[in-house]
Amino acid sequence: MTLATLSDVLQPALKGSYAVAGLVCLGWEDMRAYVAAAEAEASPVILQAGPSCRAHTPLPILGKMFRHLADRASVPVVAHLDHGHTVEECRQALECGFTSLMFDGSRKPFAQNVDETAKVAEMAHAAGISCEGEIGFVGYSGGERSAGTDPDEAAAFARQTGVDAMAISVGNVHLQTDRSGGLDETRIGAIEALTRVPLVIHGGSGVPTAQRAHLARHSHVCKFNIGTELRQAFGGALRDAVAADPDRFDRIQILQDTHDPMVAAARAAIRSVKG
């Protein structure tokens, strides 16, 4: 069994100057491919269940799916709740077997974010699992605008919450479909000068590959969340599978054709953050 907590994989990454991929899951086909990719790369992997995944599949089922894959994997697998918006949702994920809870209070006033994140961190640590928090709102491509992380607030947030990892807003954007942007490395340096907590970049698909590798090697960024580029790979593979035989209707046969392309895309994502 290789089920791991977030700290189990991020603390070695911090010490070893590399990062771990947090791969956003939407269903069985992609999470199975992600574990196969991690095994092929001999790398740990963080399987992430975000709000859209949870809207499709209930938390108790997701917890069993993640743990089933971890039980049979040859590399460490983290079962991670991504963007939990309430303490109760995080509590439910803990009870469903998740080994890492990300509480997102980034839209809330600083004091409320600290208070609620600290409650989740205390709950997680009491159960022997990990907690990620977010300070500085990370916006969405074509949607809500980001609010950059203030380094002094980040240091206070880390100190007062006791989180094991801290998501920051430094030019990253959720759901970006190209890599034309880039991260503010000066701001990242100012944050890591004030805290040793492993840093997390949400919206990693929008970060140029070379910058991912550079930050993995030379900063405290230990986790890149990657989802959009993998969704694009799945969508392309699914379209190809359907178009290859218009008479084929069996969903299992069609979805099987997405496996190898998804493994390849996930392997590329994992390699890009190894540094």
Neighbours of 31 (CB within 10 A): 26
- The answer to whether the beta carbons of residues 119 and 128 sit under 8 Å apart is no
Q: Tokens 């430094």 belong to which residue? A: 170
115 is catalytic: no
CA gap 172, 151 in Å, rounded: 16
CA gap 164, 8 in Å, rounded: 10
Q: Which H or E element spans position 223?
A: strand 221-226
Which one from 8, 30, 82, 104 is the annotated catalytic residue? 82
Neighbours of 212 (CB within 10 A): 25
**Phi (first) and psi of residue 108, to 5 degrees:** -95, 160
CA distances from 140 to 27, 59, 80, 182, 221 (A): 22, 24, 21, 15, 20
Active site residue ranges: 82
